[in-house]
Amino acid sequence: MAVQRRNTRQRALVLEAVRGRCDHPRAEDIYRDVSAADPRVSRGTVYRNLRLLQEQGEIMCIKAPGGDRFDLRCDAHCHVICTACGSVADTSTPYDALMDGAVEDETGFAVSCHTTLFEGVCPSCRALAQGA
Amino acid sequence: MAVQRRNTRQRALVLEAVRGRCDHPRAEDIYRDVSAADPRVSRGTVYRNLRLLQEQGEIMCIKAPGGDRFDLRCDAHCHVICTACGSVADTSTPYDALMDGAVEDETGFAVSCHTTLFEGVCPSCRALAQGA
DNA sequence: ATGCTTGCAAACAGTTTGCATCTAA
DNA sequence: TTAGATGCAAACTGTTTGCAAGCAT
């Protein structure tokens, strides 16, 4: 059975902060937003709650260079990260579950999932590059 | 034109260390191997050279949780990482360049590439789990 | 009351960097 | 000779953790 969880004010603030953003904030961004609502919430608490909410499936996390990003969408989808400014966007690329089986057969690993991260330059950074 | 590079003993040692391993070592592993050959080589130099060799396309790097891994193979291929012990293996999953174009059209990002990382439990960790 | 949670600060891991010195070309 | 490369140590970023106090249940 799952561990007993309490509904703390801090946990609610963290969840609200993730939901309140349509970009893909990193832990530090969430911490900043939560701090704005209540300066007494500590960074450790934000990290702990982000991990908890992930385990509960309330939010998902994208492992990106420069720090994990959080996303309120929990369905399978991929992301693009801008190599210039670090911004992240969703893509509708379908999740191919067949690949997991193929890799499992090939390597002997018990494959549970895979993540695909696209790299590129976002529209606004492209515009900047044009001007430069 | 490319920057002028020198052939230093340290650089050769780093490259040799990456090539001398068939697993996917992280920077620290390389540092350890290089240190065994010459204890005076510093960690900073190892990191600098790993980055340089990457830029030159001599080696490639896999961004994995817990630290980047280096690979002597430079052709497009994907990896599986063991969620239990952190070991990494190659897979022969083909690189689908069409996806890059699709994401580019959808998001407006100038997509240069993508990386796919599978997660699972490696054969030896599976065996351990059986026994437990 | 109980024990999950918190705040704080210190610890951590992985990596980068400033700077004086060294060295390949 | 001279600009790239090194060694060292300190700085940095992102994240985790030990512990005493706090609060949801």
A16-44 confidence digits (pLDDT tens)? 999 999 899 999 999 999 999 999 999 99
B2-35 confidence digits (pLDDT tens)? 567 899 999 999 999 999 998 999 999 999 999 9
Q: Are strands A88-91 and A110-121 parallel, antiparallel or unpaired?
A: unpaired
Closest Cα to residue A27, out of A57, A56, A80, A64? A64
B37-67 confidence digits (pLDDT tens)? 999 999 999 999 999 999 999 999 999 999 9
User: Does residue B73 lie within 7 Å of nucleic acid chain C, judged by its CB?
Assistant: no
Q: Are strands B88-91 and A60-62 parallel, antiparallel or unpaired?
A: unpaired
**d(Cα A48, Cα A18) in Å, to the nearest integer?**
14
Contact A112, B120 (CB under 8 A): yes
**Look-up: residue for tokens 């439990």?**
B121
Considering only residues B73 and B98, tell me which one the structure prediction assigns the higher pLDDT.
B98
Q: Which of A114, A122, A125, A128 to substitute to test the interface with B, most B CBs within 10 Å?
A: A114
Which positions in strand C are less than 7 Å from the protein's CB atoms?
4-10, 13-18, 24-25
Helix H or strand E segment including B90:
strand B88-91
Coil, strand or helix at A38: coil
pLDDT of residue B132: 65
Would you tell me how many other CB atoms lie within 10 Å of the CB of residue B55? 12
All residues of chain B having their beta carbon less than 8 Å from the beta carbon of residue A119 are 111-115
Distance B11 CA to C23 C1' (A): 14
